[in-house]
A and B are shown apart, each in its own frame.
Chain A
Amino acid sequence: MDLTRDRLSASKPASGVPPWTCPFCSLLCDGFRVEGSASLQLQGSDCPRARQGLSHFRAEPAPATPRVSGEAADLDTAITTATQWLRRSRLPLFGGLATDVAGARALYRLAAQVGAISDHAHGHALTHGLRAQQDRGMFYTTLAEVRNRADLIVCLGTSPAENYAEFFWRCGVSEDLVPQRHIAFVDAFLDPALQGLPRVTSEAIAAQGDLFETIAVLSALVAQRQVRVAAPALAALAERLRAASYAVIVWEAARLPQHGSLLVEAVQQLVGTLNRHTRAASFSLGGSDGAYTANQVVTWLSGLPLRTHASPAGLEHDPLRFDAQQLLADGAVDSLLWVSSFGPELAPPGTTLPQVILGHPDMVVPEGDVVFIPVSTPGIGSSGHLFRVDGGVVLPLTPVREDGLPSVAMVVARIAQQLAGKAQT
């Protein structure tokens, strides 16, 4: 059975309608449809993450009103209040950052204007990969390469489909692009959906000690160094890696333990060793809720990635010090701008600081000094762009139905204009 292609053709939208891109995880699947007269139903996939994401939207969007300290307010008042609070703030923190390219572009300009520190809601996970990249670099691959080439996929500490249900289908695992693939789950559950698929074998391999030791042993075996104690399954995997034409090591940022960047470095070292004689690459899962998008945009505009402070002394980047959670816990900042446009779940961390929240209309708004501005969700209520899981691919987002709410970019640009003393437009 040719699973992916059947699924794609089953969900093909009528011609003329632009394809829908799912904004609810960084795979950005654009082969499915959304339908429904009351609730929005996913067609062509049973991805739980997409279904959960869609469950927060009705086919007919309900009106949503901004609030200032618990009281309903019009948009102008909310924006003016937000502007005043940001103007008063000596060190604002921009957190969440769950938005699209246009939102991230506007947020960086505002951050530069008010001297804010920026960190994404998934900043902790993002930092594992970022620090490894800054210290050692990396070699990575993308979905189409995996589809067409990968004869061995090693999932390290992750069973990808648990959080990225469509991952293996997007990789074309059972398609005849590659005659035979082997998928190894190291220190992770064997994915039952792979059982019985043509052209695919799979196995689960237990960790030797913890994940750090496991990858160290595997690396040493692949480099054909002496290893005193090596689990036979790991030794066999090392042989498979050396024999593979194109091995892909998959890891998931959100599942890495403390000091995860050391694991990422070890993965890169393993890939580097393999690339001396055969071909291999890494593939990381992460970057949902606009995390990769915000990081890409801030990096190209400023030169530095997230966890950067646009300070009066210049741009200061510190992947450890500018952790939003820690800054709030330490009382190191004096206001919070929180952006969460893809759903109500990604709420701001608890704080008593003045907060400006640009969020999904159903978000539970904290009490206290809070300006809440409901914003449109790119890909549901408005158009936009997001970066996909593998880096360079940017997908356009088409609304399922317009929701009439302002976009993050629009609200942030108006705050910036007011701060600069320009007339409202």
Chain B
Amino acid sequence: MTTLRLRGGRIVDPANGVDGEMRDLCVRDGRIVELPAQAPVDEEFDATGCVVMAGGIDMHTHIGGGKMNLARLLLPEDHRSGRDPVAPSTNPLELASCGNCAPGTLATGYRYVEMGYTAAFEPAMAASNARHTHMEMGDIPILDHGAYVMLGNDELFLRMLAERQDHERIRDYVGWTINATKAMGVKVVNPGGISAFKFNQRQLDVDGEHAHWRITPREVLHTLASTLTDLGLPHPLHIHASNLGVAGNIESTLATIAALEGLPAHLTHVQFHSYGTEGPRRFSSAALQLAEAVNANPNVSIDVGQIMFGQTVTASGDTMRQHANADHASPRKWIGADIECDAGCGVVPFRYREQSYVNALQWAIGLELFLLVDDPWRVVLTTDHPNGAPFTSYPHLIRLLMDKSFRDEQLAKLHPEVAAHAALREIKREFTLQEIAVLTRAAPARLLGLHDRGRLGVGAAADIAVYRDDVNPEAMFSRPDYVFKDGTLVAEAGRIVATPVGGTHFVEPAYDRSIETLLQRYGERHLSVNPRHAAIGRDELCRCCGGGRLLPAACFQPANTA
């Protein structure tokens, strides 16, 4: 039994309604406990002058799996410093690993933990790539992790939808897939569009028709969203909407929300989906429209996908849109793939430039979205790493959100038309520490159904970040004094001091196993893997994930069987 006490910190724990209370925080065996003030502990840490928060949770970050390894392969220059190697860490606990926008998994873990994050979720796991994805995540040190499996472009789902098969059959197939891939949720990417691209279709609106299956994205969205509700998944459908990056795509995004008909869902990287067509350049901010829709639809949560200026790489399952974007690649090269009749992949390097009108407006749109949505519990802080920017830019983003004058300074450096006219200029809101804690830990934990993470109440897992108070939030959130993972000190003043293996979050919804007969028949005819190899068992998951803890999350009791 080990105990520790953080003495004299200012606790910011919105999940428990605690906002800046000065008190000690105690831990026993990896859990937060209440101990008498004078009770002896094994170790004590001075947290005076510090803000104590739960460990950060990134619920949408491309940290592992096929497309990120392709990004690494595509960009050796991201792993050099000019002509020289990137200088290695002086910390013997850190094994050699580098990269800025496409870091190795080892570096990914080190850099996240240094900022006070303790969990990260890969949002785009292809079912056929699940073993690989879990292996990469298992090689991210320290962080807990999980992944959302992509559905809605797999030919079997589209076929079942086209054949008007029973909703229950589709539900069982979705339930089976989540179990088989050991996923934490389900993501749909450009509903039907990735498949349509394989049939040479280049565009698909929410009410457009798939060239082969003759179904619409609206049907895909509604079916998947209701299926997940039936299965009792804690995280609702995670949606990368149609027409990513296209001027005027706000119409698709609003139609996507309408297609849900009140069902819960999470719209991801909405910055890339909030574009209008006003103005002389036919490209404008539709952040206000989207924020109003989010404010009016309590069933919807969002993450932003903020962009930052500089070099990055965009890695997406959306082959249709990435093929269209490939001509803008910088440097001029890209990787695309059609994958196993269930997914696609497009990796396009990109440099966001301050003097580009479009990029400057994208930057402003992201911030407008953060600042215009009223309820912080339905907004998650992301850059859609690495698509908008590497996750290491979070402290800078936090400063932009907390400091209006800093924001104005940055805006003034951008393309003059954006600097002069962006709606962002008029927004005075500055986030409080409490709101930042909601956006970066409490809200993602709630949206994922993690009942003992993202909070500091008694019984919660002792994932804790201790930030030294600073007038500059960027400095403050870059390098916490202490980071604890399940009660183990893992980073101290920006230096990794322990590298435990992280755990895997997943869900195992109930479904009718008779669906396996259909899957076997379909797999033998159409797919390329023995159907009996399709599912990952718990023992195999453990081997894939490097022996980390398995963290199954509970499902809701499905409403119709309660």
A contact set with B: CB distance below 8 Å: 5, 8, 18-19, 21, 30-31, 101-102, 105, 108-109, 112-113, 130, 133-145, 147-149, 170, 175, 177, 245-246, 275, 278-279, 281, 296-297, 299-305, 310-317, 385, 387, 391-396
Contact = CB atoms under 8 A, between A and B. Distances in A.
Given A134-B76, A245-B200, A303-B104, 11 more contacts: A141-B339, A142-B338, A149-B198, A279-B198, A300-B69, A303-B107, A304-B98, A313-B88, A315-B97, A385-B131, A392-B128
A243 to B, nearest CB: 12
Contact of A144 (B86, B323, B528): B528
B524 A312 contact: no
B126 A392 contact: yes
Contacts of B68: 300
Q: Which of A136, A302, A392 is the most central at the interface, judged by chain B CB atoms within 10 Å of its CB?
A: A392
Contacts of B104: 299-304
Q: 9 closest A-B pairs (Cβ-Cβ)? A: A314-B85, A303-B104, A143-B528, A303-B99, A392-B66, A394-B131, A137-B333, A392-B129, A30-B530
A112 B525 CA distance: 44
B151 interface: no
A391 B337 contact: yes
Given A279-B200, A300-B72, A392-B132, A142 B97 contact: no
A299 B73 contact: yes
B132 A296 contact: yes
B517 to A, nearest CB: 13
Interface in B171-198: 197-198
B427 interface: no
Interface in B519-535: 524-530, 532-533
Interface in B333-384: 333-342, 347
A366 to B, nearest CB: 30
B451 to A, nearest CB: 31
B106 interface: yes
Contacts of B105: 300-301
A145 B339 contact: yes
A101 B135 contact: yes
Contacts of B470: none
Nearest to B137: A300
A401 B86 CA distance: 45
7 contacts: A19-B532, A149-B338, A279-B197, A303-B107, A314-B81, A316-B85, A392-B340
A30 to B, nearest CB: 4
A253 B84 CA distance: 29
B480 to A, nearest CB: 25
A148 B523 CA distance: 12
Given A142-B340, A314-B96, A301 B139 contact: yes
Contact of B86 (A300, A301, A314): A314
Contact of B96 (A139, A246, A315): A315
Nearest to B98: A303
Nearest to A314: B85
B198 A145 contact: yes
A149 B339 CA distance: 12
B73 A305 contact: yes
Interface residues of B, number: 69
A302 B132 contact: no
Main secondary structure of the interface of B (DSSP, over half): mixed
Interface in B89-143: 95-99, 102-107, 126, 128-129, 131-132, 135-136, 139
B64 interface: yes
Contact of A395 (B74, B78, B136, B529): B529
Contact of A148 (B85, B526, B530): B526
B87 interface: yes
B155 interface: yes
Given A385-B544, A393-B128, A396-B533, A5 B106 contact: no
A136 B335 CA distance: 8
A395 B531 CA distance: 12
B503 to A, nearest CB: 18
A145 B341 CA distance: 6
A144 B342 CA distance: 9
B261 interface: no
Contacts of A139: 335-337
Contact of A112 (B72, B95, B99): B95
B409 interface: no
A242 B57 CA distance: 48
A311 B85 contact: yes
A315 B126 contact: no
A164 to B, nearest CB: 14
Contacts of A175: 525
B408 interface: no
B106 A301 contact: yes
B533 A147 contact: no
B540 interface: yes
Contacts of A302: 79, 96-98, 104, 106
A135 to B, nearest CB: 7
A139 B525 CA distance: 25
Contacts of B527: 144, 147
A101 to B, nearest CB: 6
B385 to A, nearest CB: 15
A134 B331 CA distance: 11
B103 A303 contact: yes
B340 A5 contact: no
Contacts of B126: 392
A137 B95 contact: no
A134 B528 contact: no
A137 B334 contact: yes
A5 B80 CA distance: 49
A286 to B, nearest CB: 14
B129 A278 contact: no
A301 B546 CA distance: 13
A314 B84 contact: yes
Given A136-B333, A302-B104, A303-B98, A296 B69 contact: yes
A396 B338 contact: no
A97 to B, nearest CB: 17
Nearest to A171: B528
A147 B107 contact: no
Contacts of A112: 95-96
A139 B346 CA distance: 9
A137 B96 CA distance: 25
A317 B333 contact: no
A133 B335 contact: yes
B129 A393 contact: yes
B97 A301 contact: yes
Contacts of A109: 95
Nearest to A145: B338
B200 A278 contact: yes
A300 B336 contact: no
Contacts of A305: 72-73, 76
Contact of A315 (B73, B98, B546): B98
Nearest to A246: B198
Contacts of B341: 144-145, 148
Contacts of A315: 79, 85-86, 88, 96-98
Contacts of A101: 135
Nearest to A271: B336
Nearest to B139: A301
Contacts of B79: 302-304, 315, 317
